[in-house]
Structure 1
């Protein structure tokens, strides 16, 4: 009778667990932070534009179905480069005049007994801004359909096209002026304005009336010459659309 004997291999020596160095842990944490930061930098502008466009569409819907208003935060939907826009300045420069009331421009000390109290005009930043839509603009050739707000103000232009307050309304004699951001993103606001051709149509709608215009003139104007263009008189009802060029 034969016997088979088997020998088990010697048990492998167990290696001691390696301890992670503090530098390795810190490097891993840094990599995670960089990945999260990168994702934030990529997604934050996309989400911001989506929220801004959703707000514009909500304003348009409210104009169609309700009172045509929305409320946004003072710092909501800030547009890159908007601090260089001159639209708001044009409105105030032609409507406001220096005050002749010295108490409105300077602080006046008030004395009570032996105590002097100095008052200053209160300047508080509003937390919420109400945007009021007065109409809609449609440019079929570049797929624009946006609400129109009264006034080319900083906040109006973030979510709407602004009607220059000192110009006539659509359908009235004279030039009704509408201003909008060029926008860096393709297709948003007036980004594709350079694609509009002579002979194409632009539609302005109010609650009661629809006006259809045909493009007959396209010009590039220096910012300093805008007021001259705005005040160029005409007796026929026309519109002017204004945006920046080039895009960047």
Structure 2
């Protein structure tokens, strides 16, 4: 009996060690599915206020992701403790991309989905839905997690420089933006969403630094 328990604890320990990589594989697979789906397939005062609220809520999303990557691994005995499980799993909602974003400088090509939620941002970048539509006059904001794994999501966004090109493809059109400014701001600085009535702006938002983020890395670009 003791030998069986020892084997069980060893197996549980191995599974715990493999979990981070398995989780990363799953999220990469979801990202690939979104890209496969893609391959197959007026900014008023009220909207501005909602966009600012979404921007402020990104702090919680970035902090949740950071905390998830820093959660200490349980010991096999702790992990073996049974927990209550729901009797019925919630029905998953399908996520469909509205565009793709490509930055050749950092070998990035990712799906863009509508709405900045933790679920959406696990495997894609997210358009803040109350900001300007892609390719239109105003300021289009797209947020993404800056994962610790090299090349995942916005991990390499810090390598982008003034003059670099960002291509955003929708189903109907392709838009090429040129980076004109890179800045690091406080999480409360919503001025990054400012716009005028003539320029077609793109704002990419992620956390900074990658580990224990305290600020936002902002890439400003325009057509």
Structure 2 unaligned regions, length at least 5 = 42-57, 64-88, 212-223
For the pair 1:202 / 2:178, whether they are aligned, the reply is no
Query: Is there any run of 5+ residues in structure 1 with no aligned partner, and where?
Result: 1-24, 67-81, 88-124
Per-residue CA distance 1:53-108 (angstroms, 9 max, x = gap): 11111111111113xxxxxxxxxxxxxxx983279xxxxxxxxxxxxxxxxxxxxx
SS at match of 1:168: coil
**Contact 1:60–1:147, Cα closer than 8 Å, also in 2:** yes
* Distance (Å, rounded) in 2 between the aligned partners of 1:185 and 1:215: 24
Helix, strand or coil: the match of 1:159?
Answer: coil
Give the TM-score normalised by the residue count of structure 2. Answer: 0.69
Task: Give the whole-Å Cα distance in 1 for the aligned partners of 2:62 and 2:157.
Answer: 19
In structure 1, the residue matched to 2:193 is 230
Q: CA deviation at 1:235?
A: 2.1
CA contact (8 A) 2:61 2:117 kept: no
Q: Which has the larger radius of gyration?
A: 1
C-alpha distance in structure 2 between counterparts of 1:48 and 1:247, whole Å: 19
SS of the counterpart of 2:198?
A: coil
TM-score, normalising length: structure 1: 0.62
* Aligned CA distance change for structure 1 residues 232 and 126 (closer, same or farther; 3 Å): farther
The structure whose RCO (Cα within 8 Å, separation 6+) is larger is 2
Q: How many residues align?
A: 170
Which structure has greater helix proportion? 2
1:53 aligns with 2:28: yes
Match of 2:136 in 1: 172
State the SS of the aligned residue for 2:172.
coil
The 1-side partners of 2:143 and 2:35 are apart by 17
Q: Could you tell me how far apart the structure 2 residues matched to 1:141 and 1:34 are?
A: 46
Matches within 5 A, 1:69-218: 84-85=60-61, 126-218=90-182
